[in-house]
Structure 1
Amino acid sequence: MKLDQSGLEILSRDECRALLGRATIGRIVFTHQALPAVQPVNYLLSRGDLVVRTSRTSRLATAAADTVVAFEIDEIDTAARTGWSVVVVGQARRATDPREIAALEVLPLDSWAPGTRDTYIVIHPELVTGRRLGNARGSDATP
Structure 2
Amino acid sequence: MDTGDDGLEVLDPTACRALLGTVPVGRLAWAEPDGHVELRLVNVGVDGDDLVFRVADGPLLDAVRDGRPLTVEADRIEPALRTGWSVAAVGYGVEDPTGAAEGRVTPWARGPHPWTVRLRPQQITGRRVRLVPGEVVVVRLPREDGDVEP
Q: State TM-score, norm by structure 1.
A: 0.81
Matched, 1:21 2:18: no
CA RMSD of aligned residues (A): 2.6
The structure with higher relative contact order (CA 8 Å, sep 6+) is: 1
Q: Which has the higher strand share?
A: 1
Identity of counterpart residues, as a percentage?
Answer: 33
Q: State TM-score, norm by structure 2.
A: 0.78
Q: Which aligned pairs between 1:24-35 and structure 2 lie closer than 5 A?
A: 24-32=24-32, 33-35=34-36
Displacement of 1:139 in angstroms is 9.3
The 10-residue stretch of structure 1 (74-83 or 6-15) with the greater mean CA deviation from structure 2: 6-15
Residue 129 to residue 108, structure 1, CA distance change in 2 (3 Å):
closer
Displacement of 1:62 in angstroms is 1.3
Could you list the runs of 5+ residues in structure 1 that have no partner in the other structure?
Answer: none
Paired with 2:36 and 2:4, the residues of 1 have a C-alpha distance of 30
Residue 93 to residue 108, structure 1, CA distance change in 2 (3 Å):
closer
Could you list the runs of 5+ residues in structure 2 that have no partner in the other structure?
Answer: 133-137, 141-148
Check whether the contact 2:75–2:86 (CA below 8 A) recurs between aligned residues: yes
Paired with 2:26 and 2:5, the residues of 1 have a C-alpha distance of 26
Q: Which aligned pairs between 1:90-129 and structure 2 lie closer than 5 A?
A: 90-95=91-96, 97=97, 100-101=98-99, 103-105=100-102, 107-129=103-125
Higher alpha-carbon Rg = 2
Paired with 1:89 and 1:109, the residues of 2 have a C-alpha distance of 19
Q: Which has the higher helix share?
A: 1
